[in-house]
Structure 1
Amino acid sequence: MKKRYTPKERAAMFKPTYFFGYGSLIAPDGINYRGMRKRYKTEDLHPCVLKGFKRSMCGFFEPRNFYGLLKDKKSYCNGVIFEVHSWNDYRRLLGSEGATSIYRKERTYWPIDVTYLISGWKVPKRHRVIALVCKQNKSNLGKIERSYVHRCYKAADIWGKDFRNEFLKTGGVAPKFFK
C-alpha cells in the first residue's frame, strides 16, 4: 500500500523548484492570485528556452483551449522560469492549472521535470525545473478565447519585441488571429 504523507512530511521533502511558464504564466499578472503566498514581480522571472517541446493550443478544459506543450524533439519554445517557494505554493499552482489527480478525466496538464532541457538560464544546483505538458493534442475540442490570447500576447510583450516575436514563431497566437 502506498504511504500517505502528512502535510508537514511533504513540506520537508519538497525539492527546490522552478517552474517553466510558456503561456499565461510568463508575466507576474498571470502567476499571482493563484492561491500562492508569494507575489511575483518581473525581476523574479527569468526568460529562457525549453528544448524538445512545442507550444500550441492543445490544452483543453471544457469548453476552452489553452496553451500546452507537446513533446517534439525538433522543437523548442521560449518562456520564463520562476521559483516556487514552498510545497503549498507548488500544490496551489498545480491545482490552478488543472494538473492534479483530483481532475481525473478532465485533467489537462501533467508536471514533468525539464531541468536538463532549459537553455539561456543556469538552473542552480540541486534545483529542478517543472513544466506542465499535455499527453495528447486536444486543440480540436474547444474554442480559443480572445481575452486569453490577448492576455498571453501582452505578457510576452513585456519581455520585448524579440521575445514576443519568438513567442509567435514557436506557437504563440497573436490577437489579430481573431480578425
Structure 2
Amino acid sequence: MGLRGSNDMKYSEWARLRAMLHHDWLQNRYLTFLSAWVNCFDEMQTNKDTAKEILMQLRLWSEKKSSFCELLRNAENALSPRQFLETPPLSTMLKEDRQWLGDVVHTLYCQRARVQERVEDMFDLMDQVDKVITTAETTVRGEETGAKVNVDSIITAVMRFSKAIGELPHEIQLP
C-alpha cells in the first residue's frame, strides 16, 4: 500500500486519469493560462474583471487537487507488475501462489522503482504548488495591500510538479 493510502486502481484507469489531469489539464490548460496571462497579473490592481478571471483560474487548482491526490495515491499499485498475476496465463496459478509471488514482485518493484519515495516527493511538490497558489489567491482578492503575485514562482512550482508526474513510468514496470 502507498504511503498516503491507496485504492486498487488498475493501470488502464490510472493512465486515463493521468492523461486527463497531467496532459489535458495541467500542461495544456493551467500552464498555458499562467504563461498567457503572466502580464495580466500586473493589470489586476486596476481591472476588476481581470482580477476575477485570474482568481477563477487560480481556484481551478483547488478543484483538481483531490484528483491529483487520487492519482498519486494509486500510482504504486497501478504501476505494479503484480497486476500481471491476475491475467492469463498467470491467473491460472493457485491463489496462494499468486499471493506470495505478487507480494515478492511488488516488493522488488517498489525497491527498484523507488515509487513510494517518488510519490512522497510529488506530494511535497503538490504542497508547494498549493502554497504559492493560495498566496496568489490572497493577493488577487486584495487581502494584502500593495502585494504583487509572483507568477514566476507559480509557474516554477507547477512545472516542477508536472515534470515529476511526467517522469513516472508510462507503463507497468517489471522489477
Tell me if both proteins adopt one fold, taking TM over 0.5 as the criterion. Answer: no
Which of these two proteins has the greater Rg computed from alpha carbons? 2
* TM bin (shorter chain): under 0.3
More strand by share: 1
More helix by share: 2
Which structure has more relative contact order (CA 8 Å, sep 6+)? It is 2
Q: State the TM-score, normalized to the length of structure 2.
A: 0.22
